[in-house]
Amino acid sequence: MGAACTHPTNSKDAELSVEDSLEDLSNTVPVVSPQMASPSLKPRPKQKVVRPEGSVLPLQKVGMKSPWASASRIASVAALQRMLAPRSSGRPDFNGMWSCFEIVGDMDALLVSLEVGWVKRCAASAINYGAGYVSRRILQNNDEIEMEVIGTPSDFVQSFNVGSGWQTVSGPDNALRINPYWENSSLLRIDQTELNGSCPVILRHELHDFGLLISMTAADGVSASWRFRK
């Protein structure tokens, strides 16, 4: 059989042998003091992260360098604000649907001065010269005005620009020539004639507490008016 494991025969010799082994081991293992830092425990230096160019958009402060602060964009925004803001030109605002509710003056005498025939004068009288029947729809943008006369035997629409001199517009029977202008800050005057310059008449439009007053004056000075309200 093979050789058997041998043990020290003396227990005291065994204890000395173990102590000697521990002493030899302590001499071979290095002792690390608390003040001595291990090289592996030193913090790593911070590394600068380099991002690819264009991967992150630069931030800009909102200020004069902002693209919205350029002169052209500021001008565009200002123009848009002017378009959206309520327009105020100091002129009266005739916008709306106006219904005639009353006449003032001698309408038949006015029609005679305007050389209106007897049959048409009778027809006008039958509907009280428009009171309770005739309406006017007015669209106004400063000096640009469109008037639609509704409720007559021949309705018509007139579009014109105030202050632009003589213009040709539609009439109840045929085309007319008109010269619209502001007689004062609150009164719109329209000089009207036939295309050949005959039958001159003056129309005035003015706002009052009750609504809109439209007066008509013939060449001989005879005048009458219509009162309208919304």
Lowest mean pLDDT among 5-9, 119-123, 159-163: 5-9
Please indicate, yes or no, if residue 43 is contained in any of the structural domains: no
Whether residue 180 lies inside any domain: the answer is yes
Q: Which domain holds residue 194?
A: 96-229
Half-sphere exposure (Cβ direction) of 138: Cα atoms closer than 13 Å: 21
Q: Residue 71 domain-assigned?
A: no
pLDDT of the residue at 188: 98
Calpha distance 204→191 (Å, rounded): 9
Beta strand pairing status for 176-184 and 223-229?
Answer: unpaired
CB of 105 closer than 8 Å to CB of 127: no
Position 6 in a domain: no
Torsion angle of the four alpha carbons 95, 99, 103, 104, in this order, in degrees rounded to the nearest 10: -30
Per the structure, the count of domains in the chain is 1
Please report whether residue 186 resides in a domain: yes
The domain that holds 198 is classified in CATH as 2.40.128.20
The HSE-up count of residue 170 (CA atoms within 13 Å, CB side) is 11
- Is 203 domain-assigned? yes
Complete DSSP assignment for 125-154: HHTGGGTTT-EEEEEEETTEEEEEEESSSS
pLDDT digits (tens, 9 = 90+) for 29-82: 555 554 554 455 556 666 665 555 555 555 555 444 444 445 555 556 555 555
pTM for this predicted structure: 0.62
For residue 136, pLDDT over 60 is answered with: yes
Backbone angles phi, psi at 188, to 5 degrees: -95, 125
29 located within any domain = no
| Placement of tokens 């579009």 in the chain | 159
- Interval 188-227: pLDDT, tens: 999 999 999 999 999 999 999 999 999 999 999 999 999 9
Evaluate whether residue 207 is within a structural domain: yes
pLDDT for 42 equals: 59
